[in-house]
A and B are shown apart, each in its own frame.
Chain A
Amino acid sequence: GAGVSQSPSNKVTEKGKDVELRCDPISGHTALYWYRQSLGQGLEFLIYFQGNSAPDKSGLPSDRFSAERTGGSVSTLTIQRTQQEDSAVYLCASSLATAWVGSNQPQHFGDGTRLSIL
């Protein structure tokens, strides 16, 4: 399809394991965003990429979280030594350019990865 694709759609893993979440943005979209929504919590911004670079990593909750984007396309979000508080839906979005700051570029969202840490 032509939308943002995330995989896996669901992931259940044991505490302490590493997980890798994948996001395949819409072709040609230079900006890519990662968010998460924990149960009952608001939408939490994690990181965004403009091309392959991430100007602001301050939203990552801890140093167990890392993200990369290569080739200006697919991005992976890696969580090392998972903890139960990492359980959430992880959402990826992409846009033609960095959205909002004076522009009208909407973000297109994937269906998310539902991560459950046992």
Chain B
Amino acid sequence: KNEVEQSPQNLTAQEGEFITINCSYSVGISALHWLQQHPGGGIVSLFMLSSGKKKHGRLIATINIQEKHSSLHITASHPRDSAVYICAVSNTGNQFYFGTGTSLTVIP
């Protein structure tokens, strides 16, 4: 069983749609990370959060510690948002656990 589960695994959306990617975890954490991996492999850290909600541009990340669940939302999606989105959690011992990623394709 994976410590971090993401859904959906693949997602295709029309430009402008509101997108939600979900992440559930089963271990105790100090932080949850959302990462974005573009074709070619470059990885960008989008958010690190341990409670509540964070917003950056059209991206919103929320976390519910009691339910061990996080969501990444993309509003007004655009083809340039097409990438793999990865949820990862870390604990106080700097151990990281990664989800297998959600491959997002936004069609013009």
Partner of A100, one of B44, B47, B94, B100: B100
Kindly list 17 other residue pairs between chains A and B, CB separation below 8 angstroms, not including A59-B42, A91-B96, A101-B84. A43-B45, A43-B48, A44-B45, A45-B35, A45-B43, A89-B94, A93-B96, A99-B101, A102-B103, A103-B100, A107-B96, A107-B98, A109-B94, A109-B96, A111-B93, A111-B94, A112-B94
Flag whether A70 is at the interface (Cβ < 8 A).
no
Flag whether B66 is at the interface (Cβ < 8 A).
no
Are A101 and B100 in contact, with the CB atoms below 8 A?
no
State which residues 37-62 of B face A: CB under 8 Å.
37, 39-48
Which of the four size classes fits the interface of chain B? 20 to 34
Flag whether A104 is at the interface (Cβ < 8 A).
yes
Which of the four size classes fits the interface of chain A? 20 to 34
Q: Mark A82-97, 1 if CB is under 8 A from B, else 0.
A: 0000000101010000
Q: From known contacts A43-B35, A45-B35, infer whether A106 and B98 are also in contact, taking CB-CB under 8 Å.
A: yes
A98 to B98, CA, bound (A): 13
Chain B residues packing against A (C-beta within 8 Å): 2, 31, 33, 35, 37, 39-48, 84, 86, 88, 90, 93-96, 98, 100-101, 103
A104 to B100, CA, bound (A): 6
Q: From known contacts A91-B96, A109-B96, infer whether A100 and B33 are also in contact, taking CB-CB under 8 Å.
A: no
Are A56 and B42 in contact, with the CB atoms below 8 A?
yes
Contacts of A1 in B (CB 8 A): none
Flag whether A48 is at the interface (Cβ < 8 A).
yes
A106 to B86, CA, bound (A): 12
Are A58 and B35 in contact, with the CB atoms below 8 A?
no
Q: Can you report 14 residue pairs joining A to B where beta carbons are below 8 Å apart? A: A42-B31, A43-B35, A44-B45, A45-B42, A48-B41, A55-B40, A59-B43, A89-B94, A91-B96, A101-B39, A104-B100, A106-B98, A106-B100, A111-B93
Flag whether A62 is at the interface (Cβ < 8 A).
no
Contacts of A107 in B (CB 8 A): 96, 98
Contacts of A48 in B (CB 8 A): 41, 43
What residue in chain A is nearest B47 (Cβ atoms)?
A42
Closest 5 A-B residue pairs measured CB to CB?
A42-B48, A45-B43, A42-B45, A100-B101, A56-B42
